[in-house]
Every structure is written in C-alpha cells, then in structure tokens.
Chains A and B, each alone.
Chain A
C-alpha cells in the first residue's frame, strides 16, 4: 500500500480587502492507496477547502501536495483540468447532474475528454451504470429520478474513467436516512471490492463511521491523526 496523497505543510488563505484570513494552516497528511477517509469539522473549519485542494480545484498558497507522486501545484490551469479528468471522480451534495442529459449521457460526459470511440464509451457507461444498479434507468433524465438514484448516477459518473481517487463533498447531505445508508453501502463496496481511494467530507457522524479513518479539522488545523 503506497501513499497516494502526500501533503506537507500545506497552507491556504484568502484575502478580504487588505486582510489576510488563513483557511488552512500547516497541514500534514498522508492518504494511502485504497483508503476511505472521512474529513469532519465544524462549519468554516476548512475541510471543503482541503478537499478542493486535493481534487485539483484550487491551488495551495504554501507547502507541497503530491498525488500519485505528481506535484499538482505546478500544473497550469489546462493541465490541471486534464489531470482532474483522468484522476479524480467527483460526488457532490446536490448530485450536480446536467438536467438536459439522460443518465447515460451524464455518465458519458467524463469519457468525452478521453480518446475512446463511441463504442468503447458505451461499454464503459453501461458497465458503470450496472455497477451502481441503474441500468434500466439509463434513458431517464435527472428530473425523473429520485435523490438516491441521482446520486447513484453521479457516483457512476465519478467511476467511469477509473480515476485514481474519488472525492465526495457531503454526499448524503440531501438524502433521507435510509437512502443515505444505501449510498454509503455503495461507497463502501467501491472501496472494498474495487479498491477505490475515497476522501469524504461530511457533517454526519454516522456517515463518517463508514470510513476507515476519520480526521478532524478545526479552524484550519488538522487534528493529531
């Protein structure tokens, strides 16, 4: 089990006028390949910011951030976009599916950034939809699916390019207890059976307990470990 994500002395701040407000301070973190990590903390603790940095959606102000050995802070904007497409799968609190595309077309989206031809893309999409148990709903639009089903489609989309890691920001935040449980079951399955590395930010203690490790953030500082 090698280290997938290596974070050393990471810091992030943002400016308000002439004020500098620190969001993350001297974060040291190592995430092993195949791990399922939950990041918890109160509102404003910086957990989402940390997640965004690891996912390549934001740039750190200090420290190093290596993902699979690559220092992603040195990549240009376009390189970072391409890197995300190949390496990161996203699961959002509000699913963030494209309403005018069918479930199939939504899952296919990340594959359009690869060189796969239509037939290969279709195979991947069908495989992934089957994995999340939504093959019969592939032609449905998000508006025709329940919250749980939409999140499954989103998870399928996150899986379809076989990414290095999956980041989930409050994946069960908009779901009722039963459905949330089903989604968490699915995520555990992906981690244990497919060996996917998952980093999840959550408020929910019950959700966090599904993970292998829980780390707490408070005012931009990571707990001891």
Chain B
C-alpha cells in the first residue's frame, strides 16, 4: 500500500460536486436494495413470530390458508380428544376450535376496501397465543356480540376502533378492546367468540383447530395418527411453520422484483462511477506520470484508484443505508396473496442487511473503478508526463 489512503480520499473530497453526484446515484441504488431486504425481513418476522412452535394447527388436507380450510364438528371433536393435547394446570384441554372469515371493511380516510380477517376463537385460543396482549379496554365476553380488534386494524379501518361497532351477520358488534400483537400478524385481525361467529355466518364447520403440544416430540405422533385414521381428512402443521409458509409467495415476489431492480439500477449507478473515475484518471494523467517517475510501481497506481472508487462506493453505501433506515417508521399494509387477507408489517433493519448493503455498494464502486484504474496503471510514463 505504497500510495497512502489519504491520496485517494483527499482526491474524492477535492472534486466535491462530482463525488456528491456519483455518490447520490450509488446511494439511491443501495437504498432500493436495502429497502427490499428490509421489507422481506419485516414480512418474514411478522409471519414467523406469529406462530408458536409448541402449537399445532389442524387444517383440511391441501389447504394453504385457514380460510380455505373447513373441518366438520365430528372431526374437530376427534382431534380435540387426542392424548397429545396438553392440559392446563386445572385440567382444561388446551385446544381451540376456530373459525376464520374474511370481511371487507373500508379504510379510514381513503374508504378503500380491504379484506380483514375475523377470527372466532375461545378463551383457550387466547391462552394459546401469549404473544398477544390487551393494549386497551377488555376482552370480549363469551356469548356476546363483543369483539376485540388488533391494533393495526383499529388504527386503519372504519368502525374497528374501541367503542366503535361493525355490522355483520345481521347484528351490531361492539369493539371492546384493542390487541397489542407486537410484530405478529394477529395485529391485523379481529377476534370474537367462535360460536357467536358460527351463528352469525351460519357455519357448522370450523376453519381450523389449534392445540398446544403436550411434549415437543409428540408432533410426530399426531402426524401418524392423522395419516392412519380413515375418518380424518385433515393434516397437522406446527403453527410457526404454517405461518412462515404463508409468506412465501409474497416474500419471493418482493425479493425477486427488488433484487432485479437493484441489479438493473446498479448498472446506471456503476456507469456513473465509471464516468467519474475515467474523468479522474484523465484529469490526473500528468500526476500519474509523476508518481511513476518518482518510482511508484504500476500496481500502486492501480490500487490507489481502486481504493478511490471503493471509497466512493462506500460513501454511497453509507448514505443509502441511512436513507433506508428512515423507512423503519413506515408501516406497509397490503393483501397477502396466499391468504387474501390484509396484513400489516414494517421495514426491519438488521446488522446483516447493513453489511450486505455496504458490500453491494463496495462492489459497485469496484466495478466502476476497475477499468479506469487499469487504464491509469497501464499508462506510459513519458506520454503521461507530457499530458496537459
């Protein structure tokens, strides 16, 4: 490293407007790149934390979403009676038969419609989800027309706030509490009494059965039982796995789209860096000749220019990451294509994403600087010294 680092960064600092413009282009690409990764991470976190490994979800075989599944009461009863179902200290079976329904609600302000998930469950169903707590108000009374709304729904939708009411199944339902579901998807749901919902929507069947495993190893036994019992047309999944699978389509789409965009955009930004570095080499030709005359080998020149373009890349990278980190305040709300239901999630920045973004920026810098650095290194000393 014969030519000092300060030669590289001082040159970047000396050409302020050029360095700034090039860095902005690189920063914007890194911003897109980082934001896409943050979106996928946010989505993944929401759905992964939504389920618990200790809970088992029973659905009709072949269903990819709870709303697609329907289980008749007879089969639900059989499953509820499995020995692998854990028991509460007071002896209650920790199993919840649930009904999932989608309802179109208008968003506050824009009035635009969205499919909101209504989940009918029992008191046990609440206990099975300790990650969900009451933020305001109280729980609904079983047997009543009371409901509680996830915080994301209460904030975003007309009629879902505390004290407000919604109308369906020819009844008025009052929101008596707001749920704080952390990052989980339950924040986008409305909960009520399963039997009241079944009446209102005239359903005999349930959508799913959820229960706590007595022991982790019991999962395989449950699987076997379902496979061998001819009465049952249902399958079992760990709750966490089920919800993780639900995000696959969207995560894949967003990731593929985002990465493709980042690569395409990086072409334009790398061209910008290429132009800047070619310009730097051209305007410092005599300087390069002088350094070579003084005795600096070709390799030192090459490295100096590669360092300069790398620093340029990193500058853009840091700027881009800073811009992307501002996205963490934004909540995205969209329909999940696999469940057809509204899902809200946030952009999540992790150290890994910061690292990947900076690496991407560094790569762009190196790509933009490679050819110009080679040109600088290959110069003939005397021709360079003669330059203007």
Contacts and interface: CB of A to CB of B under 8 A. Distances in A.
Contact between chain A and chain B defined by CB under 8 Å: yes
Interface in A60-99: 77-78, 81-86, 90, 92, 94, 96, 98-99
A20 to B, nearest CB: 18
Task: Choose among A55, A109, A110 the residue with the greatest number of B CB atoms under 10 Å from its CB.
Answer: A109
A81 B14 contact: no
A81 B297 contact: yes
A15 B4 CA distance: 38
A92 B7 CA distance: 21
A78 B300 CA distance: 11
Contacts of B287: 96, 98-99
A113 B294 contact: yes
A110 B295 contact: yes
A58 interface: yes
Given A96-B287, A100-B14, A113 B296 contact: yes
Contact of A57 (B7, B297, B381): B381
Interface in A9-66: 52, 55, 57-58
A131 B7 CA distance: 25
A112 B290 contact: no
B14 A112 contact: no
Nearest to B11: A100
Contacts of A55: 293
Given A57-B382, A84-B295, A100 B290 contact: no
A92 B384 CA distance: 13
A63 B287 CA distance: 31
Give the contact-size bracket for chain B: 20 to 34
Contacts of B298: 77
B290 A98 contact: yes
A52 B382 CA distance: 8
A214 interface: no
Contacts of B291: 98, 109
B295 A85 contact: yes
Binding site secondary structure of chain B: helix
Nearest to B289: A96
A108 to B, nearest CB: 9
B297 A78 contact: yes
A55 B296 CA distance: 15
Nearest to B10: A100
Given A52-B382, A100-B10, A81 B4 contact: no
A85 B10 contact: no
Binding site secondary structure of chain A: helix
Interface residues of A, number: 26
Contacts of A77: 298
Given A92-B290, A112-B4, A81 B296 contact: yes
Contacts of B286: 94, 96
Interface in B5-52: 6-7, 10-11, 13-14
Task: Choose among B292, B293, B385 the residue with the greatest number of A CB atoms under 10 Å from its CB.
Answer: B293
A141 to B, nearest CB: 10
B3 interface: yes
A96 B294 CA distance: 11
B382 A58 contact: yes
B112 interface: no
A81 B290 contact: no
A101 interface: yes
B231 interface: no
A140 to B, nearest CB: 14
A81 B293 CA distance: 7
Given A98-B287, A99-B14, A105 B6 contact: yes
A57 B384 CA distance: 12
B292 A101 contact: no
A164 to B, nearest CB: 13
B2 interface: yes
Contacts of B289: 96
A98 B301 CA distance: 14
Contacts of B7: 98, 100-101
Nearest to B3: A112
Closest 9 CB pairs of A and B: A85-B295, A100-B10, A96-B290, A84-B295, A81-B295, A100-B14, A81-B297, A113-B295, A100-B11
12 contacts: A57-B385, A81-B295, A81-B297, A84-B295, A86-B295, A90-B293, A92-B385, A94-B286, A96-B290, A98-B7, A100-B10, A105-B6
Interface of B: 2-4, 6-7, 10-11, 13-14, 286-287, 289-298, 381-382, 385
Given A99-B14, A105-B6, 13 more contacts: A55-B293, A81-B292, A84-B295, A85-B294, A85-B296, A90-B293, A92-B290, A94-B286, A96-B287, A100-B7, A101-B6, A112-B3, A113-B296
